[in-house]
Amino acid sequence: MASSRFQLVALLVIFSLVITAQSEIEREEMDGPCRLRGTCNEDSDCDAYCHKSTDPVAMDGHCLLDRPTPVCCCLFD
């Protein structure tokens, strides 16, 4: 009985980790050629958002100030 409880808890933990990882992926929006990531006040603020270690290639970041909340536009070099 304890074994089945442990399996159920382990399954729920794995499921919640998958849901969390999926929601992280979904937060990244596309707007034309831009991957929108994070907020900014100037182009240099986008370095942290556009140079993630999980990206296959480093991206160049530009701050889009014409939105209600300025956001980083990350473009592949």
CA 7 – CA 37 distance, rounded (Å): 37
| Cα separation, 77 vs 23, whole angstroms | 26
Burial category of 61 from C-beta neighbours within 10 Å (exposed 0-12, middle 13-18, buried 19 and up): buried
pLDDT reading at 50 higher than 70: yes
Higher pLDDT, 51 or 25: 51
What is the pTM for the complete model shown?
0.58
Q: Which residue has the higher pLDDT, 47 or 28?
A: 47
Decide: helix, strand or coil at residue 63.
strand
* Per-residue pLDDT tens digits for 11-34: 777 766 656 655 455 467 888 888
Mean pLDDT of 45-53: 87
